[in-house]
A and B are shown apart, each in its own frame.
Chain A
């Protein structure tokens, strides 16, 4: 008989009299396990703080609409990044893909008279193509995702500038509908994000195919030995991320009626921070869409708070960088406890 496990379920308390160090580790692990809960508490606390200290500016429908719109772009990117990080990869090129997709769609409408809807779809397809390239470089050439996407983002930004040195302004009335149409007082990008979040939650939580991202990220070796095509899952993860970055890019260009070549600069830092904060691990294998979105809400609130409090915009990068380090530290503490 193989020994019995005493503890039942995650809620079981550790037996009394365990050495202090083990209890401390267990506590760190518990924080890790309930990272989503901790994050939810942080979001609530930040929300309450802002509501009390900046009531007039924070608690207004205009401000909420602005926060939600800001969320839309990060949310769409965070879905892809979460799937990719679950699969044990990540993508630093999302900002560059976003800009390229917007510029391609803008040029198609303005210079080639392409119908707005077709240009919109082709912009997303460009994102998918960039994702495919990232995925092939990582899965076939076996180049580390960090280096691979650092290199490709340089290429995508370069191509963007070659296509259009100054960006595309006043793209056209037809093209604006995707980003500017309002539904229940909120612009379309927010609703698109919401639909995608629900779809991604269902996919990752309930569908057999998407379950494989967890296996591949948890242990690529084990997944391969059990017959899962690891390369294919990595490739699919990058393509999804690319398509979503493309979508974010065309939505931004549509909302601004303007494709900016520097769009999405630094967005990868914010998205990766949100996703790690929301429970993804740099080691892969864990994370949920719910967590990612909570991370996005937190980052959007932080940005909003900094603006409303009149903090210099340059502080944003510093604050988000510190939050990322904090989130990674928690991740490492909890996964260390897990893997012993």
Chain B
């Protein structure tokens, strides 16, 4: 399998809630190591698409292929089994639990000894060690591994949520507004993590309202408008202004214009 083959293919996904058509036949694909931005106005269908890929929603029609094989993502558990990890906007952390527990939530390491393994006996020492490795590898410095995450700073909590996705995401990582609540420097570190994921051959789908961030981090951008794909084009040569026009549907032909303009420039 070469890097050029898509790891994720989304084909003609439709989803309606009652009479509201959130997605009206959306298709796109991600290659290994590719960072793709998914943008659109509120209600364009971005979050519905993320929820479908993360296993929280199920499409009415359409197919999802991973590594060329059709898959049915019927639960968040299944999505994780398939190697899809999601960093949710609200981070999906359990505030009362410590850093290690949050990193290993539902993927706890258990003892390797025969009977203890059957019982699911937790290997806390190994989890603590590996948690430290993962987070330090990402440049997230947390020295209070035994503290509930409610006591950590916003940046550290973000780091843990992203670290969890990085640690377990074997194929695809979905990032839903990862820097919405962050300061400049912390957003910077998220960008570094995205680069690192991509470098490891993992496909990243970045949902963001921050056009600068999308243009900087992504190789390509998919624009949703009223539940349809309005554009799917490389970020090279694209400006924030063009992207905003595409999102608001002001200039449906923008990508042609963008090419012409970039030639002119």
Distance between A1 CB and nearest chain B CB, rounded to angstroms: 6
Contact B156 A2 (CB under 8 A): yes
Contact A222 B94 (CB under 8 A): yes
Q: Is A162 an interface residue (CB 8 A)?
A: no
Q: Is B93 an interface residue (CB 8 A)?
A: yes
Interface positions of B (Cβ within 8 A of A):
54-56, 75-81, 86, 88, 90-97, 101, 105-106, 108, 110, 119-122, 139-144, 146-148, 150-153, 155-156, 158-159, 185-186, 189
Distance between A211 CB and nearest chain B CB, rounded to angstroms: 6
Contacts of A5 in B (CB 8 A): 141-144, 152-153, 156
Q: Is A224 an interface residue (CB 8 A)?
A: yes
Considering the chains assembled together, what is the distance between the CA atoms of A239 and B265 in angstroms?
Answer: 70
Q: Is A209 an interface residue (CB 8 A)?
A: yes
Contacts of A223 in B (CB 8 A): 94, 105-106
Chain A window 220-231, contacts with chain B (Cβ cutoff 8 Å), 1 for yes, 0 for no: 011111111100
| Nearest-neighbor residue (CB-CB) of B135 within chain A | A2
Distance between B71 CB and nearest chain A CB, rounded to angstroms: 15
Considering the chains assembled together, what is the distance between the CA atoms of A207 and B150 in angstroms?
Answer: 24
| Nearest-neighbor residue (CB-CB) of A29 within chain B | B151
Q: Is A173 an interface residue (CB 8 A)?
A: no
| Nearest-neighbor residue (CB-CB) of A339 within chain B | B150
Contact B95 A2 (CB under 8 A): no
Considering the chains assembled together, what is the distance between the CA atoms of A159 and B4 in angstroms?
Answer: 68
Distance between A162 CB and nearest chain B CB, rounded to angstroms: 42
Q: Is A219 an interface residue (CB 8 A)?
A: yes
Select which of A211, A222, A224 is within 8 A of B122 by beta carbon: A211
Question: Can you name 19 A-B residue pairings with CB atoms under 8 Å?
Answer: A1-B139, A2-B139, A2-B156, A2-B158, A2-B189, A3-B141, A9-B147, A10-B146, A208-B110, A212-B106, A215-B105, A218-B94, A219-B93, A219-B94, A219-B95, A221-B90, A223-B106, A225-B56, A227-B55
Considering the chains assembled together, what is the distance between the CA atoms of A15 and B263 in angstroms?
Answer: 59
Contact B88 A207 (CB under 8 A): no
Distance between A282 CB and nearest chain B CB, rounded to angstroms: 13
Contacts of A340 in B (CB 8 A): 150
Contact A211 B121 (CB under 8 A): no
Interface positions of A (Cβ within 8 A of B):
1-5, 7-10, 206-209, 211-212, 214-215, 217-219, 221-229, 281, 285-286, 338-340
Contacts of B108 in A (CB 8 A): 208, 211
Task: Evaluate whether A215 and B106 lie within 8 angstroms (CB atoms) in the complex, with A1-B139, A4-B141, A5-B152 already known.
Answer: yes
Number of A-B contacts defined by CB within 8 Å: 120
Contact A214 B141 (CB under 8 A): no
Contacts of B75 in A (CB 8 A): 227
Name the residue in B90, B105, B185 with the highest tally of chain A Cβ atoms < 10 Å from its Cβ.
B105
Contacts of B96 in A (CB 8 A): 214, 217-218, 281, 285-286, 338
Contact B120 A222 (CB under 8 A): no
Task: Evaluate whether A8 and B76 lie within 8 angstroms (CB atoms) in the complex, with A2-B186, A215-B106, A338-B95 already known.
Answer: no
Contact B139 A3 (CB under 8 A): no
Select which of A7, A8, A206 is within 8 A of B121 by beta carbon: A206
| Nearest-neighbor residue (CB-CB) of A340 within chain B | B150
CB-CB nearest 7 A-B residue pairs: A227-B77, A208-B120, A218-B94, A285-B96, A222-B92, A218-B96, A2-B155
Task: Evaluate whether A3 and B156 lie within 8 angstroms (CB atoms) in the complex, with A285-B97, A338-B95 already known.
Answer: yes
| Nearest-neighbor residue (CB-CB) of B110 within chain A | A208
Select which of A8, A208, A217 is within 8 A of B144 by beta carbon: A8
Contact A225 B86 (CB under 8 A): yes
Contact B94 A1 (CB under 8 A): no
Considering the chains assembled together, what is the distance between the CA atoms of A235 and B159 in angstroms?
Answer: 33
Considering the chains assembled together, what is the distance between the CA atoms of A27 and B119 in angstroms?
Answer: 39
Contacts of B105 in A (CB 8 A): 215, 222-223, 226, 228
Distance between A283 CB and nearest chain B CB, rounded to angstroms: 8
Considering the chains assembled together, what is the distance between the CA atoms of A217 and B156 in angstroms?
Answer: 23
Contact B144 A9 (CB under 8 A): yes
Distance between B66 CB and nearest chain A CB, rounded to angstroms: 17
| Nearest-neighbor residue (CB-CB) of A86 within chain B | B96
Distance between A233 CB and nearest chain B CB, rounded to angstroms: 11
Distance between A168 CB and nearest chain B CB, rounded to angstroms: 39
Considering the chains assembled together, what is the distance between the CA atoms of A285 and B149 in angstroms?
Answer: 13
| Nearest-neighbor residue (CB-CB) of B156 within chain A | A2
Considering the chains assembled together, what is the distance between the CA atoms of A56 and B143 in angstroms?
Answer: 53
Contact A1 B189 (CB under 8 A): yes
Contact B94 A7 (CB under 8 A): no
Considering the chains assembled together, what is the distance between the CA atoms of A266 and B92 in angstroms?
Answer: 38
Contact B120 A207 (CB under 8 A): yes
Contacts of B139 in A (CB 8 A): 1-2
Contact B94 A338 (CB under 8 A): no
Contacts of B189 in A (CB 8 A): 1-2
Distance between B73 CB and nearest chain A CB, rounded to angstroms: 11
Contacts of B77 in A (CB 8 A): 227-229
Considering the chains assembled together, what is the distance between the CA atoms of A10 and B78 in angstroms?
Answer: 37
Task: Evaluate whether A7 and B80 lie within 8 angstroms (CB atoms) in the complex, with A219-B95, A225-B92, A285-B97 already known.
Answer: no
Contact A9 B156 (CB under 8 A): no
Contact A227 B106 (CB under 8 A): yes
Contact A226 B97 (CB under 8 A): no
| Nearest-neighbor residue (CB-CB) of B160 within chain A | A2
20 additional contacts (CB under 8 A) given A2-B155, A10-B147, A228-B106: A2-B139, A2-B140, A2-B189, A4-B143, A5-B142, A206-B122, A207-B119, A207-B121, A208-B110, A214-B96, A217-B96, A222-B93, A223-B106, A227-B55, A227-B80, A228-B77, A286-B96, A338-B95, A338-B96, A338-B150
